């Protein structure tokens, strides 16, 4: 079990708290309440952010034929997760999740249970070191980086999508 650092508020758990999840500590709720006091509309913005991710991912899968997704800063699993959205419309979709939150690692299993046709995996990494993400064996096992990356494929906040 990783050290969850329950003495220190963490972005993934604060987000979970504001979204109405259950994976947070007192210190995260306190930080979340302080954020909400300063910016009450966060209660609306954060679920809207989540819904935007769903719409964008579905659009890329359905309208653009994207089948490979790299979700950096995936957060604590919140259904539907990215792989559930894209594999619902394109079961062979491949998804790599990346986060550096220890609590996210605890839940990584939920992010790797995709369709039999598709692939999903989780990498514990820091987005400030992108080369570690792009060279991770787990990523190279799931995503085909020999495919060209086109500008219009780079779409989601925190995510990179590649043509199938
Ligand atoms: C607001 S949540 C976003 C969750 C999800 N992408 C969504 O749209 O619903 C931000 C996530 O980024 C992660 N994060 C923050 N800094 C990071 C870093 N340097 N490397 C990897 N993940 C990071 C946090 O742990 C958190 O889970």
99 Cα–ligand 1 center, Å: 6
Residue % of the chain over a pLDDT of 70: 89
pTM (2 d.p.): 0.87
Q: Residue 102, class by beta-carbon neighbours within 10 Å (0-12 exposed, 13-18 middle, 19+ buried)?
A: middle
Supply the pLDDT for residue 6.
85
Q: Is the CB of 159 under 6 A from ligand 1?
A: no
Q: Exposed, middle or buried by CB within 10 Å (0-12, 13-18, 19+), for 74?
A: buried
Per residue in 26-35, pLDDT tens? 999 999 999 9
Q: State the chain's mean pLDDT as an integer.
A: 86
pLDDT at 147: 66
Q: Are 76 and 21 contacting, i.e. CB atoms less than 8 angstroms apart?
A: yes
Q: What is the pLDDT of residue 1?
A: 73
Q: Given ligand 1 and candidates 2, 5, 9, 11, which is best to mutate, with the most ligand atoms within 8 Å of its CB?
A: 11
* Better-predicted residue by pLDDT, 32 or 2: 32
Tokens of 71: 């979700």
Residue 97 backbone dihedrals phi, psi, to 5 degrees? -100, 145
Q: Quick one: three-class SS letters along 41-83?
A: CHHHHHHHHHHHHHHHHHHHHHHCCCCEEEEECCCCCCCCCHH
Q: Which residue has the tokens 């604060």?
A: 14
Mean pLDDT is lowest, of 50-64, 79-93, 103-117, for 103-117
Between the CA of 97 and the centroid of ligand 1 the distance, in Å, is 10
pLDDT at 101: 81
Q: Between vectors from CA 40 to CA 35 and to CA 46, what angle results, nearest 5°?
A: 80
Q: State the sign of the Cα–Cα–Cα–Cα dihedral 94, 103, 127, 75.
A: positive
The alpha-carbon radius of gyration of the chain (Å, integer) is 16
Residues with Cβ within 8 Å of 23's Cβ and at least 6 positions away in sequence, in order, are 13, 16, 76, 103, 107
């Amino acid at each position: 079990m990783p050290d969850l650092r329950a003495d220190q508020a963490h972005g993934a758990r604060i987000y979970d708290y504001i979204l109405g999840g259950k994976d947070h500590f007192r210190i995260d709720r306190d930080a979340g309440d302080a954020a909400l006091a300063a910016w009450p509309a966060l209660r609306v913005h954060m679920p809207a952010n989540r819904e935007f991710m769903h719409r964008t991912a579905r659009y890329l899968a359905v309208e653009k034929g994207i089948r490979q997704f790299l979700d950096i800063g995936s957060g604590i699993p919140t259904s539907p997760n990215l792989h559930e959205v894209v594999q619902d419309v394109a079961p062979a979709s491949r998804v790599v999740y990346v986060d550096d939150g220890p609590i996210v690692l605890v839940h990584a299993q939920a992010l790797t249970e995709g369709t039999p046709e598709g692939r999903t995996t989780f990498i514990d990494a820091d987005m400030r070191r992108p080369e570690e993400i792009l060279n991770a064996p787990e990523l190279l096992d799931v995503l085909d980086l020999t495919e060209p990356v086109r500008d219009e494929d780079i779409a989601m906040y925190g995510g990179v999508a590649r043509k199938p």
